[in-house]
Amino acid sequence: MSRLVVASIGPASSVQDGGRPGSQRYGLTPSGAMDRLALAAANCLVGNEPFAAGVEIGPFGASFTARDGAVRVALAGAPRNADIAGRAVAFDSSVTLKDGETLTLGFARGGAFSYLAIEGGIQGEPVFGSLAVNARAGLGSPYPRPLLAGDEFTVDAASGASELRIELPKPVAGPIRVVLGPQDDEFDDANKALFLASEWKISPTSDRMGYRLEGPAIKHLHGHNIVSDGTVNGSIQVPGNGAPIALMMDRGTSGGYPKIATVITADFGRLAQTSAGTAFRFKQVTMAEAQDEARKFAQLIRSLPDRLRSADTVALNIEALQDANVAGYAVSAIDAGTWQVSAEP
Question: Could you tell me if 243 and 200 lie in one domain?
Answer: yes
Q: Is residue 334 part of a domain?
A: no
Q: Is residue 339 part of a domain?
A: no
pLDDT tens digit sequence for 204-254: 999 999 999 999 999 999 989 999 999 999 999 999 999 999 999 999 999
Question: Could you tell me if 148 and 18 lie in one domain?
Answer: yes
Give the domain CATH number at 252: 2.40.100.10
Question: Could you tell me if 65 and 83 lie in one domain?
Answer: yes
Q: Is residue 333 part of a domain?
A: no
In the prediction, which pLDDT does 26 show?
87
Question: Could you tell me if 161 and 180 lie in one domain?
Answer: no
Question: Could you tell me if 143 and 50 lie in one domain?
Answer: yes
Residues in the chain: 345
Provide the number of structural domains found in the chain: 2
In the prediction, which pLDDT does 344 show?
46
Q: Dihedrals φ, ψ of 2, to 5°?
A: -120, 175
Tell me the whole-structure pTM to 2 decimals: 0.89
Per-residue DSSP letters for 219-232?
PPSS-S----EE--
Of the residues 166, 197, 220, the one at which a domain ends: 166
Of the residues 148, 166, 184, the one at which a domain ends: 166
Range of the domain at 90: 2-166
Query: For 180, how many CA atoms within 13 A lie in the half-sphere containing its CB?
Result: 15
**Which CA distances in Å does 32 have to 54, 217, 262, 294?**
10, 30, 19, 18
Q: Is residue 344 part of a domain?
A: no
- Residues 88 and 248: their CA atoms lie apart, in Å, by 33
Question: Could you tell me if 10 and 126 lie in one domain?
Answer: yes
End-to-end CA distance of the chain: 65
* 6: β partners: 64
**Which CA distances in Å does 101 have to 3, 21, 66, 71, 266?**
12, 37, 6, 9, 37
Question: Could you tell me if 289 and 204 lie in one domain?
Answer: yes
Question: Could you tell me if 157 and 208 lie in one domain?
Answer: no
Of the residues 134, 166, 198, the one at which a domain ends: 166
In the prediction, which pLDDT does 3 show?
97
- Residues 45 and 92: their CA atoms lie apart, in Å, by 8
Q: Is residue 83 part of a domain?
A: yes
Q: Are 173 and 185 in contact (CB under 8 A)?
A: no
Question: Could you tell me if 101 and 119 lie in one domain?
Answer: yes
Question: Could you tell me if 6 and 155 lie in one domain?
Answer: yes
In the prediction, which pLDDT does 23 show?
87
Q: Are 97 and 63 in contact (CB under 8 A)?
A: no
Within the chain, which residues score under 50 in pLDDT? 316-321, 323-326, 341-345
What number of other Cβ atoms are within 10 A of residue 290's Cβ?
18
Close Cβ partners of 187 (under 8 Å, ≥ 6 residues apart): 195, 218, 219, 220, 221, 238, 258, 260
Close Cβ partners of 162 (under 8 Å, ≥ 6 residues apart): 310, 311, 312
